Amino acid sequence: MSRIGRKLIDMPTGVTLSVDDGKVMVKGPKGDLSVDLVPGIDISVEDNAIKVTRQSDDKKTRAFHGMIRALVNNLVVGVSQGFERNLEIVGIGWRAQMQGKTLVMNLGFSHPVEFDPPEGIEISTDGPAKIAVKGIDKQAVGQTAAIIRGFRPPEPYKGKGIRYAGEHVIRKAGKAGA
């Protein structure tokens, strides 16, 4: 039995779960999300907890058991609490600011970099060097943060660039000059 798959998922108050036509739909105070079910995986609600079980022990069903449980858990956490990814900008004169819903970043290029967030994602800046990406869909929040980081990933010599909060950038030695 999958160690992840057999864990129960606690349902917070205000969150409802429904399963129909091979789709799991979760509604909560922050919105509603859904995920497709894999054939052979069943989901039931017992005593305010979600239980994910599999119908058989064939290899494909075993492989998807823990993954489906993790996806449903992400739906429940997303509609009840939401997800957030924080980014930091390191570089002299490099900064980010919001202009309406557009994130405008000065990253050492000859032009400012503008980024419009996808639907369901909220971006905010806390000072000129901190960016927060928030939303209810964990995958969309992570993908948006990765796109923003991709505009100027941290380089190994001076460490300049956009990095995740708390990310350790491995530094290289520069030229050995005389």
CATH (domain of 51): 3.90.930.12
Nearest to 73 by CA among 10, 31, 15: 10
56 & 39 share domain: yes
Q: Is residue 175 part of a domain?
A: no
Chosen domain end from 40, 56, 80: 80
Radius of gyration over every alpha carbon of the chain, rounded to an integer in angstroms:
21
Chosen domain end from 46, 80, 114: 80
Where would I find the H helices in the chain?
Answer: 59-80, 138-150
Beta strands 16-20 and 23-28 are: antiparallel
The beta strands (E) that lie in 65-127 are given as 83-90, 95-99, 102-106, 113-115, 121-125
- Domain of 147 in residue numbering reads as 83-164
pTM of the model: 0.89
Q: What is the pLDDT along the chain (178 residues), one digit of tens a residue?
A: 568 888 999 999 999 999 988 899 999 999 999 999 998 999 999 888 999 999 998 998 988 999 999 999 999 999 999 999 999 999 999 999 999 999 999 999 999 999 999 999 999 999 999 999 999 999 999 999 999 999 999 999 999 999 999 999 999 988 876 5
Number of domain units in the chain:
2
